[in-house]
Amino acid sequence: MAAPTSMLLTGISELWTLDPALDDPARPGRVTEEQVLHDAAVVIEDGRIAWTGPEAEAPPADAAEDLGGRAVLPGWVDSHSHLVFDGDRAAEFEARMAGQSYAAGGIGVTTAATREASDERLRRLVRARLAEAAAGGTTTMETKTGYGLTVADEARAARLLAALAKCGELDEVTFLGAHLVPGEYDGQEGRPGAEEYVDLVAGEMLTAVAPHVRWIDVFCEEGAFTPEQSERVLRAGAAAGLGLRVHGHQLGRSGGVVLAVELGAASVDHLNHLSADDVEALVATVSRPTADGEGPGLLAVDAGPTVATVLPACDLSTRAPLAPARALLDAGAALAIASNCNPGTSYTSSMSFCVGTAVLQMHLSLDEAIRAATRGGALALRRSDVGHLGIGALADLHVLDAPAAIHLAYRPGMPLTHQVRRRGERIA
Ligand code: NIG
């Protein structure tokens, strides 16, 4: 029997379409009443949203499923993760809970273990992590290289991720050779130093990795890369046609925000330590128009706002001051929430946990947090085809095992994912 090409989902208590066509320009970052339907239905056709509206008016379809009074959201768009790694840093985490503070150097521990892993083992680890994310409602995932830090190891990670992206198992791949200056570039006893490593990243390493990635990122922070070094890497990436992303202001006022804004980065992530000027600089980017990129559903990587991406699980796991998501949104910045899944600072890919935390701890309203974890992430990845359920969007749906999305914060830590569809197909 041929697979049905259209599917009607009914029994939806809340349908969060977040349709961009229904945005209120006077309230950017907020969800309007029209963007959440009640007693609704959705029709999926050929992997895309074909119709949404009141259940009583739903058109017929080849197949139908009653969701039993559950809430339906767009799948989470996780715009920041580091999934290519081997090794365990539970002891480092435990020491942190006993009072030690996080420092960038822990990246070196994971780098050593990752370099040792076989290609097959790394692929298996990444796929298992992608499956965990999907099981929690994530349907669009960005992930980074950054635990190889040699030309061969970074190119290997990029190739592995590009192959998974080609099979539709992940979406966006980022080169993060500038994650840490590896130990062999310590400038001691005749060994090369940090500047030589930056030359390598911006030169031979970028050349090897660029064909496999859409983005370049840099950890602009004390103990990692200075603003000058970061700029060198980002400019080389832009010259190679890559979109820019920045890790900044995680451990202090690193200068990453000014750099990201000046260079037109799509996103600057972490943001635990911000001045009023930093916030203003991010807000000023919101008036930059987006532009169409290459390919359907893609926006240009070098146009549009620099999205302020906050990482609630990371802030908890490092006991850092929470990023000021409330103040950023109130000031008018474009906001995203991401998991930052990685072995050092945030070993979770649960976007539901991040959204719940943003409500409970960062004082966002539910609709602000959901929007930041869907539309916000999509903007940070310059994608217009995900993060919402407007007509024509990819049919990426997260069906909650709850009648209302507020349960994400009301019942923290509970298994609230009932079903996940990516491009219309059940993946969890
Ligand atoms: O985003 N800040 C830099 N990179 C990761 C941490 C990586 C690690 O400690 O292994 C982050 O938090």
Closest C-alpha residue for ligand 1 atom 9 = 344
10 domain residue, yes or no: yes
Q: How many domains does one find in the chain?
A: 2
- pLDDT score of 191: 96
- pLDDT score of 84: 98
Q: Can you point out the beta strands (E) in 294-359?
A: 307-310, 335-337
Q: Do 270 and 397 lie in a common domain? A: no
Closest CA to 378 of 258, 260, 290: 290
231 domain residue, yes or no: yes
Rounded distance from Cα 107 to ligand 1 centre (Å): 7
CA atoms within 13 A on the CB side of 231: 11
Q: Do 62 and 81 lie in a common domain? A: no
351 domain residue, yes or no: yes
Rounded distance from Cα 389 to ligand 1 centre (Å): 32
Closest C-alpha residue for ligand 1 atom 11 = 345
Rounded distance from Cα 104 to ligand 1 centre (Å): 7
Ranges of the chain with pLDDT below 70: 1-4
46 domain residue, yes or no: yes
Closest CA to 121 of 80, 156, 151, 150: 156
CB 174 within 8 A of CB 145: yes
Find the helix or strand (DSSP H, E) in which 86 lies: none
Q: Do 166 and 51 lie in a common domain? A: no
Q: Do 358 and 393 lie in a common domain? A: no
Q: Do 185 and 162 lie in a common domain? A: yes
273 domain residue, yes or no: yes
State the Cα–Cα distance between residues 140 and 161, nearest whole angstrom: 14
Closest atom of ligand 1 to CA, residue 104: 9
Q: Is 6 helix (H, G, I), strand (E, B) or coil?
A: strand
Q: Of 107, 149, 230, which is best to mutate to test ligand 1, by the most ligand atoms within 8 angstroms of its C-beta?
A: 107
CATH code: domain of residue 139: 3.20.20.140
- pLDDT score of 29: 84
Rounded distance from Cα 342 to ligand 1 centre (Å): 7
Closest atom of ligand 1 to CA, residue 314: 12
Query: Which residues share a beta bridge with 73?
Result: 398
- Please list, in sequence order, all residues whose beta carbon lies within 8 angstroms of the beta carbon of residue 21, skipping any fewer than 6 positions away: 390
CA atoms within 13 A on the CB side of 371: 22
Q: Do 209 and 358 lie in a common domain? A: yes
Q: Do 40 and 122 lie in a common domain? A: no
CATH code: domain of residue 414: 2.30.40.10
Rounded distance from Cα 417 to ligand 1 centre (Å): 27
- pLDDT score of 4: 61
21 domain residue, yes or no: yes
Q: Do 60 and 119 lie in a common domain? A: no
DSSP state for residue 256 in the 8-state scheme: H
Residue with the two structure tokens 């070094």: 229
Please list every protein residue whose CB sits less than 6 Å from any atom of ligand 1: 82, 106-107, 110, 219, 247, 250, 314, 340, 342-345
Q: Do 87 and 164 lie in a common domain? A: yes
- pLDDT score of 265: 98
1 domain residue, yes or no: no
Closest C-alpha residue for ligand 1 atom 8 = 344
**Whether the predicted model's global pTM rises above the 0.95 cut:** yes
Q: Give the burial class of 289: count Cβ atoms within 10 A of its Cβ; 0-12 exposed, 13-18 middle, 19 or more buried.
A: exposed
Q: Do 316 and 280 lie in a common domain? A: yes
Residue 164 Cα distances to 122, 149, 160, 172, angstroms = 12, 21, 6, 10
Q: Do 188 and 164 lie in a common domain? A: yes
Q: Give the pLDDT confidence of 12-65 residue by residue, as tens digits.
A: 999 999 999 999 988 888 999 999 999 999 999 999 999 999 999 999 999 999
Residues spanned by the domain of 173: 76-380
Alpha helices in 285-381 (DSSP H): 312-317, 325-331, 351-360, 366-371, 377-380
Q: Do 48 and 163 lie in a common domain? A: no
27 domain residue, yes or no: yes
